[in-house]
Amino acid sequence: MAAVPPDASSLPRHVAIIMDGNGRWARKRHLPRQAGHVAGVAAVREIVRAATDAGLQNLTLYAFSSENWKRPPTEVGALMGLFRLYFRNDLEEMVARGVRVRIIGNRSRVATDIRQMIEEMERRTVGNTGLNLTFAFDYGGQEEICAAARELARAAKEGRLDPETITPELFATRLFTSALPEPDLLIRTSGERRLSNFLLWQSAYAELLFVDTLWPDFTPEKFLEALDQFARRERRFGSLPEAVA
């Protein structure tokens, strides 16, 4: 029986996913790692479709970390090639589905043509009012926090900001995700149980869901099951249940 998305009132406002396991998926099938990344892109496409069909408002996908540059040049090159294909081939579907696309991360290190594709995808979808789809691309949570701290420190040094007025809310406005609500649900595939430098500040109160499924096998049905698990969790944000309080 196919999984059914929870009622709209039970949906998380923002789901973030660490898409892990492409390499192990390929190794289990005696295929090159690139084959796993190709299968991973296909999974991205299906999950984005499932998110739009379910009526989800915000989805953030960890596509490429700032640490991924340390991988072998051939693998990095293959990943960049896949990003080019995705940005080129899926843009029209994003426009048709009303998806607004944003890319967060350090754009200075990527090739010029990829940066241009990113800018075109953002420009073409800026007026869309459906799913807000964010790709964390050349992204690192610690790097993001340091950049926000530098910006506030610079403003204080120049006399544009009183340091005593810095609050968590103000700090959050300097993060890449300032236009988005904090994630309610963070999913990591492949069985690993760590955040790997992803949305460190933003995930302070996120519900964490670690699943053993490798990313290419994370089907829309499994995604809807994750949304259903979230709907059944009790969120307290540091307080006590009403019955105890």
- Respond yes or no: is residue 197 known to be catalytic: no
Query: Of 53, 68, 132, 197, which residue is the catalytic one?
Result: 68
Collect all residues with Cβ–Cβ distance below 8 Å to 212 and sequence separation of at least 6.
190, 191
From 20, 90, 138, 184, the catalytic residue = 20
CB 122 within 8 A of CB 83: no
CA-based R_g, the chain, Å? 19
Q: Is 20 a catalytic residue?
A: yes
Q: 209 φ, ψ to 5°? A: -130, 115
Catalytic residues: 20, 68
